[in-house]
Amino acid sequence: MAPRNSSRNLRVLLDMDGVLADFEGQFLKRFREKYPHDPFVPLDERSGFYVTKQYYALGQDIGTKAFGIYEEKGFFLDLQPIDGAIEAAREMAEMEGVDVYICTSPIKKYTHCVVEKYQWLDKHLGKEWMERMILTRDKTVINGDLLIDDKPNITGGMNPPKWQHVLFTSYHNRDVVLQDGQIRLDGWLPHSRWRDILEQKRQEISEQ
């Protein structure tokens, strides 16, 4: 990247589930293992951010079972990293003039979720990343320049938020039309444009 001209660092917020960790794949795997005879939603048929909404459409009992999957102990800890995510996060954190934080929302039934998010971060990125963790139910109040997140519509107490939303492509949002100001990022693997997105934002900041 080009030398930084701005007087402050670029602040990047990384969502965890669906951006760094494979929530969708883990959910489907767990559901089919626990309920092998029940109907399910294949990944290529996922639509809408909330997976349980599609499962409730299959029946009230199916939706209730789906809710229970990600409330179980070990669900969040056992999520597999999305391809290239760990390498991208580490590279991003080492860039001069870039501050990286993990910005993630715990589920309301947080008994296992909160501690397992910290454990997952420790397991895959190391203890030094504990200081980068931001847990919040409202991401709009968090100060940042870019939020990389798979949720298409992020609302909260601050409208508009200070960050620009980079929509990370997932099975459930592939057909979502971008809103004004949003950018789409199709994964972390080689030839991903995440570096270009950061550089463009840094240039914008330097010109302010």
Whole-number Cα distances in Å, 84 to 10, 46, 81, 157, 162: 21, 22, 8, 33, 27
d(CA 153, CA 30): 27
Q: Is 175 labeled as catalytic in the residue annotation?
A: no
| Token pair for 92 | 């991003």
Query: What is the three-class DSSP state of 196?
Result: helix
> Rounded to 5 degrees, what are φ and ψ at 205?
-65, -40
Helix 85-94 to helix 194-206 angle (10° resolution) is 30
String of b and e for 93-125 (b: at least 16 CB within 10 Å)? bebebbbbbbbbbbbeeeebbeebbbebbeebb
Amino acid at 193: R
Q: Is 17 labeled as catalytic in the residue annotation?
A: yes
Q: Which of 17, 22, 145, 150 is catalytic?
A: 17
- The answer for residues whose C-beta is within 8 angstroms of residue 10's C-beta and 6 or more apart is 4, 97, 98, 99, 145, 146, 198, 201, 202, 205
Q: Which of 15, 22, 145, 150 is catalytic?
A: 15
Return the percent helix, strand and coil in the chain, to nearest 5. 40, 15, 50
Which residues are tagged catalytic? 15, 17
